[in-house]
Amino acid sequence: MSEAPGGKPLGVFGGTFDPVHNAHLRLAEEALDRLGLAQVRWIPAGQPACRAAPLVSAAQRLEMVRLAIAGNPRFELDSAEVDAAQSSYTVPTLERLRQTAACGAQRPLVLLVGADAFAGLPAWHRWESLLALAHIAVAHRPGFPVDAASLPGALASIYKERYRPDAAALAAAPAGCIVNFAMTQLDISATKVRALLSKGHSTRYLIPDALVTYIHDHHLYLEN
Ligand code: ATP
């Protein structure tokens, strides 16, 4: 496999994580092996720009990600979007990462997104700049096909042009390709987890045990 001069690709996984759940964790874990990533950097959104306000504070969502990924040496937490306490946008986040010593201009960056988030890309701030800064790896998600025919027009053209069938393409350049990967299909969503919690039902085995305890102890996601 040819490798870009900047080193092994670094995964970047952003999300609202309201709360983080086991499908997020499997997505990141499988991406490491399937896409040949050195690490996955988790970046919880401070104030997500394109969706309703999260139900719990940014600090609590950050803490839940910290608990969820604890002990995995291939996962790293990036609190910059939460610390910034303003609307979170992916392009400025990637630009910031490019300024760091761990990344620089040459290291391949791989933005990890689920198929639903990928289809919504044209709503993102400065989305046309994403592929100049990173590759995009699209994880299959139940109910969301990954094919050009089901994408909005502008994104479909870019997908056809930039799609590479082999994840080896990610290591060969710092940015610019789209790949997809068929992660273990888990029909888990934060929406579903919140709905269970609001009814007082169990979320065990959908989220890590440490989060079950944290959510219980902090009285989060209760029906109001
Ligand atoms: P919500 O239900 O509140 O919309 P979510 O479960 O989709 O939340 P997010 O924090 O919005 O979680 O998602 C972060 C990223 O994880 C997105 O790219 C999303 O597509 C991806 N993702 C979330 N759940 C899954 C899943 N079950 N399979 C594949 N990708 C997923």
Domain locations along the chain: 10-187
- Considering the segment(s) 10-187 as one domain, its CATH architecture is 3-Layer(aba) Sandwich (3.40)
CA separation for the pair 207, 122 (Å, rounded) = 30
Atom 31, ligand 1: residue with shortest CA distance: 114
Ligand 1 center–CA 142 separation, angstroms = 11
Atom 19, ligand 1: residue with shortest CA distance: 114
pLDDT at residue 10 is higher than 60:
yes
Ligand 1 center–CA 130 separation, angstroms = 19
Average pLDDT over residues 110-131: 96
DSSP for 99-167 reads: TSTTTTTTS-EEEEEEHHHHHTGGGSTTGGGHHHH-EEEEEPBTTB--SGGGS-HHHHHHHHHHB-SSG
Split at pLDDT 50, 70, 90, the class of 216 is very high
Give percent above pLDDT 90 in the chain: 83
Between 50-54, 83-87, 102-106, 149-153, the lowest mean confidence (pLDDT) is in: 50-54
Place of tokens 């790293």: 76
Residue 66, classified by CB atoms within 10 Å of its CB into exposed (0-12), middle (13-18) or buried (19+), is middle
pLDDT at residue 53 is higher than 90:
no
Rounded to two decimals, what is the model's pTM?
A: 0.96
pLDDT for res 49: 73
pLDDT for res 175: 98
Structure-token pair, residue 52: 């309703």
pLDDT at residue 4 is higher than 70:
no
Atom 22, ligand 1: residue with shortest CA distance: 114
Ligand 1 center–CA 190 separation, angstroms = 7
Average pLDDT over residues 86-92: 88
CA separation for the pair 148, 145 (Å, rounded) = 9
Split at pLDDT 50, 70, 90, the class of 121 is very high
Closest ligand 1 atom to residue 114 Cα is: 20
Q: Ligand 1 within 6 A of 121 CB? A: no
Structure-token pair, residue 199: 């009814």
Residue 148, C-beta contacts closer than 8 angstroms, at least 6 positions apart: 156, 159, 160
CA separation for the pair 115, 169 (Å, rounded) = 20
Residue 58, C-beta contacts closer than 8 angstroms, at least 6 positions apart: 44, 45, 46, 47, 82, 85
pLDDT for res 215: 98
CA separation for the pair 129, 37 (Å, rounded) = 22
CA 103 to chain centroid, in Å, comes to 18
Q: Give tens-digit pLDDT for 168-213.
A: 999 999 999 999 999 999 999 999 999 999 999 999 999 999 999 9
pLDDT for res 94: 96
Give percent above pLDDT 70 in the chain: 97
B/e letters for 193-210, b = 16+ CB within 10 Å, e = fewer, are bbebbeeeeebeebbbee
